[in-house]
């Protein structure tokens, strides 16, 4: 048995901050927590204050349920690219990630989700796949290739779910498309989360989608109607429904800081801070491909060459934490939105997202200014 002990940290988990805390791990699982000097020796002992300075913070590992790549590599491009991008995001605190795939032909998507299912046998940091497309509203396509968009007919939906062999975690679709509500029911029946996104749905249509079983709103406010005082749209409908988690991209590009704070205030405990990161995250400005779409990144902002639409982000989750707190979100709630809430949204909240006995030993040590000083990933999901 291999043991690790982290001590002298401000532990933030379960919506609580505990000063001068310690956490003990054995074989990649949390086995005990406490405070002060009550800890016993371990194979590896990490003094969080010595490592990260006064005010050192210990949190669960970050969970990103919506990212497309990083370090110059895209999750659509196979095993080597996935590992390259994941290594970069891991260094920024993201210990586990769902791999988001952009719109492509159904044959290609089926192959890619099958490859991700295979990779999960060896790479425990991968939680599964997220199909962001092709079942999207063309008028809200964002950075998706419009010629590849299609209605969510049962045969296509089932084929993609089957190809993932139970590892498709999330499917984003526009529920107002023909077959949209039936697709939501089919996705949920397969054990995946159905997400409303890239949609022109009004409040009534969004409500129908949530009643049908959709439980995530993909990158809230983006690629959907905004809020109007006589037309609340999908964002307020999702915020009012306690079954729904709202994704937020806290990069100060997709969402203004005031809107980041509004999101947390409107849906307390139900915001998941995601990156929506594309290949340029952790890499240089320049020309990139996002699926079939050409993208130019300037000053860290990715936009499509054809329309100038925002094309994912160059965000990492540690920066999302910094920007959420700067926007006025309490630190405890910002951490929850990076850990417990996204884990729960995709059905793994019973093993990930907390530093509590029996949970996997994913942990991040940060300095008081939220700079990552140490990252560890625990054992794999059963």
DSSP 304-349: ETTT--B--B---HHHHHHHHHHTT--HHHHHHHHTHHHHHHTT-T
* Rounded distance between C-alpha atoms, residue 191 and residue 317, angstroms: 26
- Active-site entry in 276, 289, 299, 382: 276
**Is the distance from CB of 184 to CB of 192 less than 8 angstroms?**
no
Residues sharing a CB contact under 8 Å with residue 188, sequence separation 6 or more, in sequence order: 194, 212, 213, 214, 215
Rg (CA), the chain: 20
Nearest to 137 by CA among 179, 84, 189, 177: 177
Active site residue 47: no
Strand order in the sheet with 293-298: 286-290, 293-298, 301-304
> Which of helix, strand or coil describes residue 82?
helix
CA distance 183 to 150: 13
Whole-number Å distance between alpha carbons of 330 and 334: 6
CA separation, residue 347 to residues 36, 122, 245, 271, 379 (Å): 34, 20, 12, 15, 17
Helix, strand or coil, per DSSP, at residue 75: helix
- How far is Cα of residue 46 from the mean position of the Cα atoms in its chain? 28
Active site residues: 276
């Amino acid at each position: 048995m291999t043991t690790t002990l982290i001590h002298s940290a401000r532990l933030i988990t379960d919506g609580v901050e505990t000063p001068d805390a310690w956490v003990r791990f054995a074989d990649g699982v949390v086995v005990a927590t406490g405070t002060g000097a009550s800890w016993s020796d371990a194979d590896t002992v990490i003094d969080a204050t010595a490592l990260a300075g006064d005010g050192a913070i210990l949190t669960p590992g970050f969970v990103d349920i919506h990212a497309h790549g990083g370090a110059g590599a895209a999750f659509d491009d196979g095993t080597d690219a996935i590992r390259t991008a994941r290594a970069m995001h891991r260094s920024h605190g993201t210990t586990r990630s769902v791999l988001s795939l952009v719109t492509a032909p159904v044959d290609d998507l089926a192959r890619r989700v099958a490859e991700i299912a295979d990779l999960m046998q060896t790479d425990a940091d991968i939680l599964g796949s997220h199909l962001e497309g092709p079942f999207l509203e063309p008028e809200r396509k964002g950075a998706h290739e419009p010629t590849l968009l299609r209605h969510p007919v049962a045969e296509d939906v089932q084929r993609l779910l089957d190809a993932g062999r139970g590892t498709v975690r999330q499917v984003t679709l526009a529920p107002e498309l023909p077959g949209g509500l039936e697709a939501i029911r089919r996705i949920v029946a397969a054990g995946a989360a159905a997400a409303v996104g890239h949609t022109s749905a009004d409040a009534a249509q969004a409500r129908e989608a949530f009643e049908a079983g959709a439980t995530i709103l993909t990158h809230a406010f983006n690629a959907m109607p905004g809020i109007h005082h006589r037309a609340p749209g999908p964002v307020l409908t999702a915020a009012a429904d306690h079954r729904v988690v709202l994704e937020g991209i806290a990069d100060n590009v997709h969402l203004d800081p005031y809107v980041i704070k509004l999101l947390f205030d409107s849906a307390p405990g139900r915001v998941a801070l995601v990156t929506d990161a594309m290949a340029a995250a952790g890499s240089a400005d320049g020309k990139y491909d996002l699926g079939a779409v050409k993208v130019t990144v300037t000053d860290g902002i990715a936009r499509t060459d054809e329309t100038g639409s925002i094309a994912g982000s160059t965000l990492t989750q540690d920066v999302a934490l910094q920007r959420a707190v700067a926007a006025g979100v309490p630190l405890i709630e910002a951490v929850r939105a990076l850990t417990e809430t996204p884990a729960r949204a995709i059905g793994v909240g019973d093993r990930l997202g907390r530093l509590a006995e029996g949970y996997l030993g994913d942990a991040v040590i940060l300095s008081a200014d939220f700079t990552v000083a140490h990252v560890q990933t625990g054992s794999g999901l059963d």
